[in-house]
Structure 1
Amino acid sequence: MTPDTPHTPDTPDIDAPSLLDPADWASFREQAHAALDVALDHVRERPTQGVWQELPELAKRTDAPLPVAGAPLPELVAELQERVLPYTLGNIHPRFWGWVNGTGTASGIVAQMLTASINANMGGRDHAPIYLERQVLGWMQSLFGLPAGSSGMICSGTSTATLLGLAIARQRATAGEVRRGGNAVMPGLRVYTSAQAHVSVDKALEMMGLGSQALCSVPVAADFSMDVDALARCVAEDVAAGLQPFAVVSSVGSVNTGAIDDLPAINALCADYGLWHHVDGAFGALCMLSEVLRPRLAGIEAADSIAFDFHKWMHVGYSVGCLLVADGELHRQTFQTSHAYLQGERQGIAGGTPWPNDFGLELSRGFAALGVWFQLREMGIEKLGRAIHRNCLQAGKLGEAVAVSEHLELLAPVSLNIVCFRYRAAGLTAPVLDQLNRRIVVELQCRGIAAPSFTVINGSAAIRVAITNHRTRWRDLQALLDACEALGSEFLAAS
């Protein structure tokens, strides 16, 4: 059909303006500004509301019909104001300390808005966003002290980064043969990690076809860091049994307690056995931003790969993580392909090689690096590091307050930013005490008072407070302590 071909209402005019752009840009601009105001008001006013509330049926509805005709922008924003904004997770609230969630920043709204306006596909090719991403990776390589020739990859989070890191480790262990022959080229591959490690390590090995049986869970010391002597025994036993150790995954900020593994000792053991050292630093690795905390991560610069999140303790909008690799050429060899439609050129849009898709799985990638660049440029590492250090000081003081409380008990050392404790009362059996503490956590959440999570420490249910929240003040943590004691007394009196 040519531009002169007659068309009916059911036949789109192939020479008409975009069907999807606003028909009236001036009106759309006003509506978009109003939507931005809604977003900013949400961030500003959220701390005055309860942390979380149970969802009404309106928020849970999933049976709406697939839209046939569109709706105006103000109508969509109004619907979100009614059914979504009041019922969010609460992680932008000052009293949210569940799991490990970033808080975001007000200016992050602007970063995500600009990201959407550019709509860059970051799989490769020669355009300015690629170079901005390389700048971010270069900053991180410098921050962590990686050698010349190192590489990096922006990805969705530490879970993905750990999968990529272990794939690179296997590539080295098999001298590249795994890409052709799979895991059969080296039976008995083994990975070692702490008993306190994140479940993403298990998932990575399952997805790599090695299975969870390839993972050795190493006992921890009294401070919940990996017992390096036990690690050495596990590796030696596997070597003697004819297995093929190829990687150790250490933790910088373990998921339950925030423990930091002994990186120099693990580096030495890996060097002795020729093992790859991958650091899971999901939140803890960004202690490198703090001059005060940075020395605690001594040895991280000698790791083979490091995985961490920007969306946790650096508060970049979800989701964006990072993998850093000391051997950039090995990294490229693990993932690069040579299909004709992906080959680069010296000039033109297909220039700018090597492309990010040569260093990972995805050919279509969002411009998540813009949010990281924006945060670093606006805040600077000094302010970001101080915010991280403040959370650790808050955790330390919270641990001290629990230790002197008549009704609360500290269940693990406060290593970094996580405090694990429980309500205690004389005469209660262990199961009853566990049930009481789980009920306290749930009730704190349901009443909108605060949002800790719970875990199990040495067999006991614990109230877990993970402070990765730049809005938290000491008065918020004091309110948590007061509420825990009040709820514990309330539930005991009613039983």
Structure 2
Amino acid sequence: MTEKKHENHTLDPENWDEIRALGHQMIDDLVNYWQGIREEPTWKPIPEEIKSTFDTVVPKQGLAPAQVYEQFKTTIFPYNKGNVHPRFFAWIQGTGNPMGVWGDLLASGMNPNVAIGEHAPMYVDQQVVSWCKEIMGFPENSSGILVSGGSMANITALTVARNSFRDREIRKKGLQQTAEKLLIYCSVETHSCIQKAAEIIGLGTDAVRKIGVNKHFEMLTDELEDQIRMDISEGFTPFCIVGTSGTVNTGAIDPMEKLLSLSKKYDLWFHVDGAYGALCKLDPIYSDRLKAIEEADSLAFDLHKWLYVPYEVGCTLIRDKKKHRDSFAVNPNYLLQESRGLAGGLDSINNYGFELSRGFKALKVWMSLKEHGLEKYRKMIAQNNRQAEYLAELVKSEPLLELTAPVSMSITCFRRIEPGFSEEQLKELNREILLRLQESGIASPSSTILNGKYTFRIANVNQRTRFEDMDLLVKEVLRIGHEILKTESF
């Protein structure tokens, strides 16, 4: 009988020296990219012929690694979103930092599943969460978990808030066994992920009471209390107030102390959506206004925004660790924990969130904080805020520019104006200026509508931005506006 010969296949390279050299080349190319990024356009349109290369069937046979990388360099690398650029100001998206990138590289190379088991990444994850608690003034015995970003951080917190509601055992029995009609309160400026979270956790859109804002786009607390009282009188059950520490539109900060006071008065869960602005607590000018974060029942915030680490990593903090664990813990047979061995060690992260498979996202945070220290981050966050204020002063000094919202944190909203123009004409003028700024690669602001006015929105969580970039932005807005008015009719 002929002995059957087995083939052994692997995805490792046949030539380790070649893959090492290619890796060195990738790192060199990245460093060169960062080093020269200021001279590059913020964004480039993707040619149709490049887009067509992504409309192909799955490869049946492989290419040499160098060929794969060459395709990346010609079809992907040149057409990045641009949020690593010093004049990227759109959508509150951070720039990352070199050490954080190396952290991601090392984390991918180690490739641990940081959810369970006795291995060092579990302890790094725990330490980063502990640092987050320390930064935010949460007690040592509170709880937390790293997640993908603000949306997941908010839904995690609101799930705990719902499951912890009185003694209703909602996790076990479900909402259908609960007679109360639970309500969440937030402002009309609150991020849409709060509404999505309410839908996903079974409360529905109608359970989100959106409260009006003042001229600074901050929640009106008198209106909030009136709404709470009216809802109680009509048989509803308020259970959670969401305060926003830095709205995405204007950077507005809801009146945190008053919201905290109302939550205690009516025995409500107080959650803070600080996805953008919670870390602004490190800026001494804003620290008092954000002091109430320290007494919140839960907090959501992003580290890939104002900690400038690469995408993606956010954090949820929960004041009551037992309530946090009771909302998610499950112990199937295949996840048995031991007192020693590989299945020993720390409590599974799965007991504090939705995910069981999760990467080593803590490492880039750990390495970045180790390299720079918290004091450097205080300076960087304060610098972004001062840059926003500087831009506002430039706008106020130009007769053809107009601030459309008070400056808060690091967001400046303004527009080009023209005597005699209607709102519709101003919208078209400013829209065209915005598109030309982006398409020319000069800068990448985003837009919003504030009190019916089409507005440039400069959201600066950029560690590479300099004050002179604000001078250039204003200069180019005026120049492009002048060119448009010479050649276009409105």
Partner of 1:81: 73
User: Which stretch has the larger CA shift, 27-36 or 456-465?
Assistant: 27-36
2: distance between equivalents of 1:420 and 1:238? 35
Residue 35 of structure 2 is aligned to residue 36 of structure 1: no
Alpha-carbon distance, 1:392 to partner: 0.4
| Cα shift readout 1:350-400 (whole Å, capped 9, x = no counterpart) | 112421000000110111011111111111111111111001001001111
Amino acid at match of 1:119: N
Alpha-carbon distance, 1:338 to partner: 2.2
1:77-476 alignment to 2 at 5 Å? 77-175=69-167, 177-186=169-178, 187-476=180-469
| Cα shift readout 1:9-35 (whole Å, capped 9, x = no counterpart) | xxx52xx4x611122222221121112
- Provide the aligned C-alpha RMSD in A: 1.4
2: distance between equivalents of 1:190 and 1:324? 22
Alpha-carbon distance, 1:339 to partner: 1.4
2: distance between equivalents of 1:378 and 1:332? 32
| Cα shift readout 1:274-310 (whole Å, capped 9, x = no counterpart) | 1111111112111233445433311110001110111
Q: Secondary structure at the match of 1:441?
A: helix
Partner of 1:64: 56
Q: Secondary structure at the match of 1:278?
A: strand
1:174–1:185 CA contact under 8 A, matched in 2: no
2:99–2:364 CA contact under 8 A, matched in 1: no
2:248–2:276 CA contact under 8 A, matched in 1: no
Partner of 2:11: 20
Q: Provide TM-score, normalisation by structure 1.
A: 0.95
Alpha-carbon distance, 1:149 to partner: 2.2
2:243–2:271 CA contact under 8 A, matched in 1: yes
2: distance between equivalents of 1:182 and 1:48? 56
2:130–2:140 CA contact under 8 A, matched in 1: no
1: distance between equivalents of 2:166 and 2:62? 54
1:133–1:369 CA contact under 8 A, matched in 2: yes
Alpha-carbon distance change, 148 to 51 in structure 1, aligned in 2, over 3 angstroms = closer
Alpha-carbon distance change, 174 to 70 in structure 1, aligned in 2, over 3 angstroms = farther
2: distance between equivalents of 1:26 and 1:77? 16
2: distance between equivalents of 1:49 and 1:147? 45
Alpha-carbon distance, 1:327 to partner: 0.4
Q: Provide TM-score, normalisation by structure 2.
A: 0.96
Alpha-carbon distance, 1:148 to partner: 3.7
Residue 480 of structure 2 is aligned to residue 482 of structure 1: no
Amino acid at match of 2:229: A
Q: Secondary structure at the match of 1:210?
A: coil
Alpha-carbon distance, 1:174 to partner: 4.9
2: distance between equivalents of 1:158 and 1:174? 26
1:223–1:412 CA contact under 8 A, matched in 2: yes
Amino acid at match of 1:242: G
1: distance between equivalents of 2:393 and 2:282? 25
2:213–2:219 CA contact under 8 A, matched in 1: yes
Amino acid at match of 1:21: D
2: distance between equivalents of 1:325 and 1:59? 46
Amino acid at match of 1:354: D
Alpha-carbon distance, 1:146 to partner: 1.2
2: distance between equivalents of 1:144 and 1:31? 42
Structure 2: gaps of 5 or more residues:
none
Alpha-carbon distance, 1:176 to partner: 5.2
2: distance between equivalents of 1:210 and 1:478? 47
Amino acid at match of 2:471: Q
Alpha-carbon distance, 1:6 to partner: 2.2
Amino acid at match of 1:117: G
| Cα shift readout 1:188-230 (whole Å, capped 9, x = no counterpart) | 1110111111111111111112111110111111211111111
| Cα shift readout 1:71-95 (whole Å, capped 9, x = no counterpart) | 2221122111111111111111111
2: distance between equivalents of 1:237 and 1:372? 45
Alpha-carbon distance, 1:5 to partner: 4.5
Alpha-carbon distance, 1:107 to partner: 2.0
User: Which stretch has the larger CA shift, 428-437 or 182-191?
Assistant: 182-191
Partner of 1:6: 4
Amino acid at match of 1:351: G
1: distance between equivalents of 2:142 and 2:274? 18
Amino acid at match of 1:40: V
Alpha-carbon distance change, 113 to 387 in structure 1, aligned in 2, over 3 angstroms = same
Amino acid at match of 1:168: V
Alpha-carbon distance, 1:476 to partner: 1.1
Moved over 3 A (4+): 289-293
2:280–2:409 CA contact under 8 A, matched in 1: no
| Cα shift readout 1:225-265 (whole Å, capped 9, x = no counterpart) | 11111111111111111101111111111110001111111
Amino acid at match of 2:131: W
2:45–2:439 CA contact under 8 A, matched in 1: yes
Alpha-carbon distance, 1:145 to partner: 1.4
Amino acid at match of 2:312: S
Q: Secondary structure at the match of 1:311?
A: helix
1: distance between equivalents of 2:49 and 2:314? 33
2: distance between equivalents of 1:202 and 1:352? 37
2: distance between equivalents of 1:291 and 1:465? 22
Structure 1: gaps of 5 or more residues:
none
2: distance between equivalents of 1:288 and 1:168? 24
1:452–1:464 CA contact under 8 A, matched in 2: yes
